[in-house]
A and B are shown apart, each in its own frame.
Chain A
Amino acid sequence: MTDVIQSTLDGLMFGSAYALLALGFTLIFGTMRRLNLAYGPTIMAGAYLGAYAFARTGMGALPVALLAVAGAALAGLYVERLCFRPFGEGAAIASMISSFAVWMQIEEAATLALPSHLNAFPRLAAAAPIEVGPFSFRAEHLLMLLVASLAAALVYWGLARTRFGLAVRTVIDHRRAAALVGVPVERTLMLAFVLASAIGGLAGFLIAASEAQITPMFGMWATTKGLIAMMLGGLGSVPGAILGGLALGVIEANAQWLFGPHVRDLVAWGLLFAVLALWPGGLLGGRDGPGAAGHGRV
């Protein structure tokens, strides 16, 4: 029993990073109505920028974090301008394939900059694990949970209370109506995209820093985890993304402890397939299909 609780708690902590990943993915999908296949790689670009600087100068975790976020945001701007902005209605697939092409670009650029498979990353926290009764918590996981929660709360608050948040919500709810009330739609889309990439960059930093390393597989990994978490919670739903991320973390942690890493991944995908086949709208989406819940609501 203790094992289950420990895994669940560990899963919740790691799941908070998944939640941030899913949050960024959802912001992009909600505004663009398209999947950004370059999402993971843009996050990796930021993390690699941080790792590169770390390798050259040995700077601390905080400056690396800032670099990771900024790098991801810049990479996101590049993707938005090249793969999303030029495409009108009905060219959704072309847009997606274009983002896939950029995925390849970024992966190659990253491996050119840092050719080795394992690259050192500053530690998130150097403290020893904290013991509470029979449970043990790694300091980096606690910090990850704290930072991710703060970031998610900030985004949630921003969407609900700021003028920019209002613009984003109107664009998500009805793009043409947003244009009619004077929302600068194109600029809002671009800023939302960059913000989503920055959020992803933060998630990437937290994950890489908690393992103190980053590999070239990170781009693909982040994309798949973000996609699964987002779909679990219901495509296009902000609260769903957070829930999906946490759920994925918990399920993975328990599956890993019970069956090992391979089966863990099998369970994640199997769960997604089952959820989609049985509840097309995701956990929060109901039977009406994707995006039915939380659409434009915060």
Chain B
Amino acid sequence: MDDHLVGVLASIGIVSFVALSAYVLLLSGEVSFGQQAFFALGAYAAGIGTAVLRWPLASALLLGALVGALAAAAVARATLRLTGFAFAMATLAFAEMVRIAAELVVFRVEVDGRLVGPAGTDGFGDIRYLFENDITPGQYAAGVYVLLAAVLALFAAVERSRLGRALRQAGTDPTLAELQGISVVRVRLAAATAAGALAGLGGGLYAHLLTYVEPGNFNIMLGVHSLAYGLIGGLGTALGPVLGVLIDIGLLESSRLFAGYRMIVFGGLVAVLLIVRPRGLLDERAVHWIAARIRERLDALAARRADGPLRRP
């Protein structure tokens, strides 16, 4: 498998993290334009972890997730009174503040005779953990997908649990949820923190894949894109945002046809798709339909197997 394709696959996996981050918040009823802030914080923190502190990758990624979670919790606390578009704007404001701060902050430490660390607009380079430890792109991509699979499994488990139901309920009808004893405030805080951790983890993975990140990577485009992935892929399941990322990156990368017109074509397709499916391809109805079909198949299989050895004479 050539390196470029592996890189694309790894990107799809990594961007899925920030798409899932926006998705969690959407489920809790809020639109966030700012998840890229925690993606950025995670990237820089994890980068400092391996490149400056010389920690192993796992610890650095954990640090990234932690930083993302803490920052997200703080922002959520500050914006508790906000809903709807005011909240969305506040998240955007925070994300832009982080991006601009990254342009201004220079923090370089001498490691092995070289200066390593974030250098403002010049970015943060030399995040060379993968090279230094002979991890191939293929191995890294595999690792990314193992992590993603674990996260998706976690999502599946949570969706079935009381927490998952509380989350969706708080998102669809907060007043009703409160009446049912669900503390919408606590749910939103929990969702925001989890989303921050997800984005932070993704950021750490991102930094190590690219070995160099700069503030411009974490702009409004990334933020609105993360939201768009869920809307395109579908809001009925955690697989939706991942599907959205696959469609966006995969299709765009592979369509050599529309060389200069990719965005015009793709943008038009998205706009039309949303008219037909305002909650994405894998929306709640589609997911129910698919689940019902699967159950039917399983039931038919079970029935056939039951009939087999005990067939009536």
Contact = CB atoms under 8 A, between A and B. Distances in A.
B26 A93 contact: yes
B115 interface: no
Interface string B139-158: 00000000000000000000
A93 B231 contact: yes
A98 B104 contact: no
A98 B103 contact: no
Contact of A269 (B26, B31, B93): B93
Interface in A206-237: 220, 224, 227-228, 231, 235
A105 B268 CA distance: 7
A298 interface: no
A273 B275 contact: no
Q: Is the interface of A mostly helix, strand, loop or mixed?
A: helix
Contacts of B86: 231, 235, 276, 280, 289-290
Contacts of A235: 85-86
A17 B23 CA distance: 36
Given A97-B227, A100-B224, A105-B264, A272 B89 contact: yes
Contacts of B81: 277, 280
B79 A108 contact: no
Contacts, number: 116
Given A272-B93, A277-B79, A101 B264 contact: no
A186 interface: no
A172 B231 CA distance: 27
Contacts of A104: 263, 266-267
B104 A94 contact: no
A276 B264 CA distance: 35
Interface in B84-126: 84-86, 88-90, 92-94, 96-97, 100-101, 103-104
B100 A109 contact: no
A83 interface: yes
A277 B83 CA distance: 11
A190 B240 CA distance: 33
Interface residues on A, range: 35 or more
Contact of B220 (A93, A224, A265): A224
B100 to A, nearest CB: 5
Contacts of B94: 269, 273
Contacts of A231: 86, 89
Contacts of B232: 97
Given A235-B86, A273-B93, A94 B267 contact: no
A273 B227 contact: no
B217 to A, nearest CB: 15
A112 interface: yes
Interface in A31-58: 35, 37
Contacts of A228: 93
A263 B267 contact: no
A184 interface: no
A101 B103 contact: no
Nearest to B101: A266
A227 B231 contact: no
Residue from B261, B262, B278 with most neighbouring chain A CB atoms (10 Å) = B278
Residue from A83, A97, A104, A290 with most neighbouring chain B CB atoms (10 Å) = A97
B231 A94 contact: yes
B97 A270 contact: yes
B220 A290 contact: no
Contact of A83 (B93, B260, B271): B271
A270 B93 contact: yes
B228 interface: yes
Residue from A96, A112, A265 with most neighbouring chain B CB atoms (10 Å) = A96
A279 B4 CA distance: 49
Interface of A: 29, 35, 37, 82-83, 86-87, 91, 93-98, 100-105, 107-109, 112, 220, 224, 227-228, 231, 235, 262-263, 265-266, 269-270, 272-273, 276-277, 280, 289-290
What are the nearest 3 A-B pairs in CB distance?
A105-B267, A94-B278, A101-B270
24 contacts: A35-B85, A93-B26, A94-B274, A94-B279, A97-B227, A98-B271, A101-B266, A102-B267, A104-B267, A105-B263, A105-B267, A108-B261, A108-B267, A220-B220, A231-B86, A262-B104, A266-B100, A270-B97, A273-B94, A276-B79, A276-B86, A276-B90, A290-B84, A290-B86
Given A83-B271, A269-B100, A276-B89, 4 more contacts: A91-B278, A98-B274, A101-B274, A269-B93
